[in-house]
Amino acid sequence: MIALLWIVLMTFLNGLTAFIGVISFFFSKNFFNKILLFLVSFSIGALLGGAAFHLIPESVEKLSLILTCLLIITGFSIFFLLETILHWRHCHEKECKIHPFTKLILYGDAIHNFIDGLIIASAFIISIPLGILTSILIISHELPQEIGDFAVLVYGGFKKKDALFYNFLAQLTSVLGGVIGYFLLSLIKPVAELLLPIAAGGFIYIAVNDLIPEIFREKSLKKIILNLIAIALGLLLLISARILVG
């Protein structure tokens, strides 16, 4: 029951990341762009550090090295296929030039967050410290992503208040995924162990394929160095957490 309470708490906190767009009411677009890139850089370090120092070692302890590697590749491939499908559908909607494109983003985000809830639940079932760390990883990735989603919704015709509300609803599917995951995975705990390396593969895919290219689009050497420092901070945070947890 304690694990369930943690799952509900962390998935709800994950849902609250949708309100990061509130900042847009107070700051300029240029300021947002600077914060976004720093958050993206930090997320790269956090995602890679979480996969390398937490999820993969935990998986190797529960599973064989070969099975862990195969599941990491599987997770990487699943995220690649999912992004390819969503990208094709998004482009299709863009060609139509209609506002329902924004709804498709919300649908895709809802599915993504539901899966995040399952991952959080699987981590908490194995151990509460691992669940907390996994939740932090997911939330750190969600923050910059939610800023981007908010901007797209507003661009697509939503009023700012409506964009915040519907983005929050899409985020709340993580709570649903977490609760369902708890009751299903508590009956078949080995499934939770199999999800960890798959999640690691997904984290690696997001960092390498989606986020790192954004960093190196920068032309300014100073900004690139600052972004690399942010990546290092993300890595150090996860290394420190690993040392503290043991």
Q: Tell me, yes or no, whether 57 lies in a domain.
A: yes
Position 68 scores a pLDDT of: 95
Position 33 scores a pLDDT of: 64
Q: Tell me, yes or no, whether 63 lies in a domain.
A: yes
Q: Tell me, yes or no, whether 230 lies in a domain.
A: yes
Position 74 scores a pLDDT of: 95
- For residue 27, give the DSSP letter: S
Q: In whole angstroms, what is the distance from residue 126 CA to residue 221 CA? A: 43
Q: Tell me, yes or no, whether 32 lies in a domain.
A: no
Q: Which two tokens stand for residue 103?
A: 């709804």
Position 93 scores a pLDDT of: 47
Position 221 scores a pLDDT of: 85
Structural domain range at position 180: 2-14+40-245
- Taken in order 97, 103, 108, 112, the sign of the CA dihedral is positive
Count the neighbouring beta carbons within 10 Å of the beta carbon of residue 189: 12
- pLDDT mean by block of 10 residues, the chain; 246 residues: 90 89 74 73 86 87 92 91 68 47 72 85 87 86 72 74 89 92 76 82 86 81 88 87 66
Q: Tell me, yes or no, whether 26 lies in a domain.
A: no
CB 84 within 8 A of CB 239: no
pTM: 0.69
Position 29 scores a pLDDT of: 66
152: burial class by Cβ within 10 Å (0-12, 13-18, 19+)? Answer: middle
Q: Is the backbone of residue 196 left (phi > 0), alpha (psi -120 to 50) or beta?
A: alpha
Position 71 scores a pLDDT of: 95
Q: Tell me, yes or no, whether 107 lies in a domain.
A: yes
Position 101 scores a pLDDT of: 56
Q: In whole angstroms, what is the distance from residue 79 CA to residue 204 CA? A: 10
When divided into structural domains, the chain yields a total of: 1
Position 55 scores a pLDDT of: 84
Q: Tell me, yes or no, whether 133 lies in a domain.
A: yes
Distance of CA 37 to the CA centre of its chain: 16
Position 175 scores a pLDDT of: 94
Q: Tell me, yes or no, whether 33 lies in a domain.
A: no
